[in-house]
Amino acid sequence: MEEVVLHATVVDNQNHLITGLGRDSFKVYEDGKLQAVTSFRKESVPVALGILIDNSGSMLPKRAKVNEAALRLVDASQQDDRVFVVNFGEDAFLDQDYTQDVAKLRAALQRVETKGSTALYDAIIGAVNHLDQTSQSQKKVLLVVTDGQDNASQATFQEVLRKLQSKNAPVLYTIALEQNDRKAESNRRSLRALSEQTGGTAFFPSSMDEVGLIASSIAQDIRSQYVIGYRSSNSHASGVYHTIQVQATEGSTPLRVTTRTGYYSGNLGNGDTH
């Protein structure tokens, strides 16, 4: 059985990050059955990061602050990290493949078309495929920034959810900017479901001034994650969904863990938990 690798963020009941735990502080359950932890790291792990930015017309007045927020993630990156940039509208374009060159990343972020529709789901699937095909990093992260609901993808919500439930899928963070139409709440539910499935978070800032702080929070989150591996003791028929729960304690105090909620076994797609 191939190792299942989880990236876990731990906070106390005051929502303060807890970063000094050892292997023995964690228990991992798959389908309710306790698993033996086979690997554990809390030091910095190289990250492959994809930044996906909505390129629709309504984003134009917001792009300067969005770009600066995205560059905060780049500034927080470390020597072995790699970053790529995708701008998406009706189509998604890999405007900058993996690099640590801030000038190149800034140029890619400033390549703004600001027209057309929003094919959000297609862009996410394309970015996951790009990570699968090009990155050997244990830690894979996507950040999506959008101000609209998907209205142009060939892929459905269920298809992108399944893609993110693969065993080696990235952690997804989303920032959904102000949306005032009647579809906004439905879109929030969708983005929250996609992000939380992977152990990521969906953010809904009420003003553009919050976006930079959110990016800094995401950068801290990425750097504070534990990397926990186990080999499942359960039988694995292809295409079966396996639930994951991770518990952590400090002394006798229970803590809150955010990681993948599960994964599909086999080649159909493989899956981090609250």
pLDDT for residue 234: 87
Question: Amino acid identity, residue 136?
Answer: Q
Residues 6 or more apart whose CB falls under 8 angstroms from that of 147 comprise: 54, 56, 58, 59, 62, 176, 177, 178, 179
pLDDT for residue 272: 42
Which pLDDT band, with edges at 50, 70 and 90, does 237 fall under?
confident
Angle at 219 between CA 217 and CA 220, to 5 degrees: 65
Residue-wise pLDDT for 55-114, tens only, equals 888 888 899 999 999 999 998 888 889 999 999 988 888 999 999 898 999 999 988 776
Residue-wise pLDDT for 26-65, tens only, equals 999 999 999 999 999 987 888 999 999 998 888 888 999 9
Which pLDDT band, with edges at 50, 70 and 90, does 135 fall under?
confident
- Contacts by residues 255-258 (CB-CB < 8 Å, ≥ 24 positions apart): 255/10, 255/11, 255/12, 255/18, 256/10, 256/11, 256/12, 256/13, 257/8, 257/9, 257/10, 257/26, 258/8, 258/9, 258/10, 258/11, 258/199, 258/201
pLDDT for residue 99: 93
